[in-house]
Structures are given as C-alpha cells and as structure tokens.
Amino acid sequence: AQSVTQLDSQVPVFEEAPVELRCNYSSSVSVYLFWYVQYPNQGLQLLLKYLSGSTLVKGINGFEAEFNKSQTSFHLRKPSVHISDTAEYFCAVSDGRSARQLTFGSGTQLTVLP
Amino acid sequence: DTAVSQTPKYLVTQMGNDKSIKCEQNLGHDTMYWYKQDSKKFLKIMFSYNNKELIINETVPNRFSPKSPDKAHLNLHINSLELGDSAVYFCASSQRTMDEAFFGQGTRLTVV
C-alpha cells in the first residue's frame, strides 16, 4: 500500500518570498510522484511529475520539486511566489504496479499575501 | 477544446433521488477514474476503469456505479442519494504508460 503525507495544511507567505510545500510518501515499491494544483472552483492541473532520471524536476509556473529517495520526500518549491499562486496544492503517488491509481495527500492551501 | 469534461457542473437534489454525472475525454486515454473530494478537500479514488477491468475502492457504497458506454465516456450513477454524498466529484483519465491524470472541472453535488 502507498500513502502520502503533506505536512502543512496551510502555508501563508508574502508575495515574492520563496516557498516550500512538503510532501512525504511511503511505498514498498518504486513510485511515480506528482504535484497537482487546484485553483478555486476548478479541477486539478498537473504542475510537475517525477517518473525517473534527474531527481530535480521542473514544472510549470516556475515550480520545481526534488525527489529524495532516502528521505522519501518530494517537496515542492518556488523561489518567488505571486498572488496568482494562491491555490490548493496536492502531492500524489502512483506505484509502478498499479500505475493507474493515484493516491493523493490531504492538500496544502498556499495563500500568497500582498 | 476541453480534454476531460463533466456535466453538470452543479447538481442539487433531494435525499433518496437517483442521479447521474457524465464524463467524456477526448485524449484517447484508455483509463478513466472517478474521485470524490470531501469538504476538507481530501481526494479519494472511487473507481478506475478501462475496457478490461473495473477496480472499485472497497469503501465505496454499492449505490455508486460507473457505466462506460465506450472508451471515451465514464458516467457515474448514484442511487438513493444521502446527505453524506454531498461532495465534489472529479472525473479523470490517463494513458497507460504515462500515469499522468487529466482532471475534469468537477461536479459539485449537494444533497438536501
């Protein structure tokens, strides 16, 4: 079985400050890792994904994440946030065997303050 | 050109009614899903389905049933609606090898 823990339910940050949203996972096999963003009253949109290869993954809107196998983490970072980044962010994991099924974390609400 | 579309976007209905939510994807994906997002925004998979197998989350009541008339559609039927069914339901699809899921805009179901 696989699981995802997002350690912070809410993260307030001032505009142009850096941000890190934390995600830890557990799985007995190799995993694929994802970050999704949900803007208010909208569906989920993929920010970035790790399937294999380089552990530093770059996504859309200036976000990046680093896969750390030893710490079973996949933290999301952005060096300078904008008001428009205010949204709910979900970390998700899919294992290599039942690869069609995503397991989501509980989400982190990022609020960017002016 | 919407990749995954759901209808309706909002659905308000009385307890005990039967309702359906439709989902269509034009991405040529072979697998579709239904997720339920509760009031705390926690996302839980309900079903995953392709033309070969249906995987049901064992916690989903049998009042919920997916119906797939073809590869591009996966509708969700709900019988005898209960107050606790109120949530946002998301349809999604993915390609076999990529594992990236594309989501619809969601259907906000309110049972009164």
**Cα angle: B75, vertex B78, B81; to 5 degrees:** 155
Query: How much is the pLDDT for A71?
Result: 92
On the question of pLDDT at A97 being above 60, the answer is no
Of residues A84, A70, A101, A85, the one with CA closest to residue A21: A85
CA distance B7 to chain A (A): 13
Count how many residues are written for chain A.
114
In which residue are the tokens 């919407």 written? Answer: B2
Q: How far apart are CA A17 and CA A56, in angstroms?
A: 21
Are A101 and B50 in contact (CB < 8 Å)?
A: no
Let me know: does A63 contact A87? Beta carbons within 8 Å: no
Residues B41-97: pLDDT tens digits? Answer: 889 889 888 877 787 777 889 999 999 888 899 999 999 999 999 999 999 998 865
- Kindly list the residues from chain B whose CB atom is less than 8 angstroms away from the CB atom of residue A38: 41
Judge: A32–B99 Cβ closer than 8 Å, yes or no: yes
Q: Which amino acid is at A102?
A: L
Confidence of residue A98 (pLDDT cuts 50, 70, 90): low
A80-107 burial, b for 16+ CB within 10 Å, e for fewer?
ebeeebbbbbbbbbbbeeebbbbbbbbb
